[in-house]
Amino acid sequence: MLDECYNDELVQAEWNIQQKHRVNCSFYLKIGACRHGDKCSRLHTRPISSKTILLKNFYHFGDIIRQDFSKEKEQREFDEFFREVYLEIDEEYGEIDEMNVCDNTGEHMLGNVYIKFMHESNASNAVKALNNRWFNGKPIHCELSPVSDFRDACCRQYEN
């Protein structure tokens, strides 16, 4: 029995040491998402305060990218989505500084919506409220994001 307790403590101590020496994940810090998720060998330190929130996989490109839709219709659908979300979030939770929708094809990023508020308190209140809501028949998954400058988070193909 004592051996088991000692072994458990030893395993826990070794795990704590490993965690202490892990390096922050540069992808997570830059874009608030990582393709490895919780299995990443690097740290994903979730912010306790931020002006930016992340609505994970919130916009569903697959719903509108169809053979029978023209590019113009796809753009109209997207514009309607953007306007609806922007206006409601701004009205309900506070002034928005910037809003971006990610169309990177990576599963960990596709449809992510990043909203940067003018004040951290607005972001915090939005996270609490939005995690209890549904949109388009699906639950909303919202968290504070480490992203503070979207220029750093932009993929090379979208620069300039």
What is the amino acid identity at position 86? Y
Q: Which of 66, 60, 65, 52 is nearest to 110 (CA)?
A: 60
Residue ranges covered by each domain of the chain: 44-158
Instruction: Please check whether residue 52 is in contact with residue 147, taking contact to mean a CB–CB distance below 8 angstroms.
Output: yes
- In this prediction the pTM is 0.74
Per-residue pLDDT tens digits for 22-68: 677 766 667 777 766 676 766 666 778 999 999 988 887 764 455 66
Query: What's the CATH fold of domain 44-158?
Result: Alpha-Beta Plaits (3.30.70)
Residue 34 to residue 107: CA distance in whole angstroms = 10
Per-residue pLDDT tens digits for 97-135: 999 988 766 565 678 899 999 999 999 999 999 999 999
Per-residue pLDDT tens digits for 86-103: 999 999 999 999 999 887
Task: State the sign of the Cα–Cα–Cα–Cα dihedral 89, 94, 96, 100.
Answer: negative
